[in-house]
């Protein structure tokens, strides 16, 4: 898609430090990493959100994400990884992308990047669970 920086990277028109270039997606270093070695994994096609990823592409795309998470850990001697995705809100580039961030014990990253909350009680928690379950595609 014209004007999409990630489409430009996939096409080879925008320079990037590529880690993987496969039919299921392209992975490259984030230019503003949380920690050095932070990757972005994008599908080759211009898709904006996870909901846009065709069902037949899920295994290939997330298989690549999984392999890259293993490679980040092994290749960077990391203690683990943080794998995350934003959809619409906080999505800095409107092209589906998954972050694979190397982690080490004591790296200073605490949980998620936003404040946490609690449910008032079990009834409120159940109401949220029920609303999501009712909206789940394919649910009866």
Phi–psi pair at 21, nearest 5 degrees = -140, 95
> Catalytic one among 38, 95, 97, 99?
97
Comparing C-alpha atoms, which of 66, 84, 79 is closest to residue 105?
Answer: 79
Spatial distance between the Cα atoms of 39 and 109, rounded to a whole number of angstroms: 16
Greatest Cα pair distance, the chain, in angstroms, is: 53
Catalytic annotation present for 97: yes
Instruction: List the catalytic residues.
Output: 97
């Amino acid at each position: 898609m014209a004007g999409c920086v990630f489409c430009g990277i996939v096409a080879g028109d925008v320079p990037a430090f590529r880690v993987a270039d496969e039919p299921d997606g392209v992975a490259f270093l984030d230019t503003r990493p949380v920690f050095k070695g932070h990757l972005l994994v994008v599908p080759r096609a211009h898709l904006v959100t996870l909901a846009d990823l065709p069902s037949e592409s899920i295994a290939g795309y997330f298989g690549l994400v999984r392999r890259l998470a293993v490679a980040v850990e092994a290749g960077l001697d990391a203690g683990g990884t943080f794998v995350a995705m934003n959809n619409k809100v906080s999505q800095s580039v409107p092209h589906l992308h998954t972050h694979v961030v190397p982690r080490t014990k004591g790296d200073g990253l605490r949980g998620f990047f936003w404040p946490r909350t609690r449910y008032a009680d079990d009834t409120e928690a159940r109401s949220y669970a029920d609303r999501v379950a009712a909206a789940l595609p394919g649910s009866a």
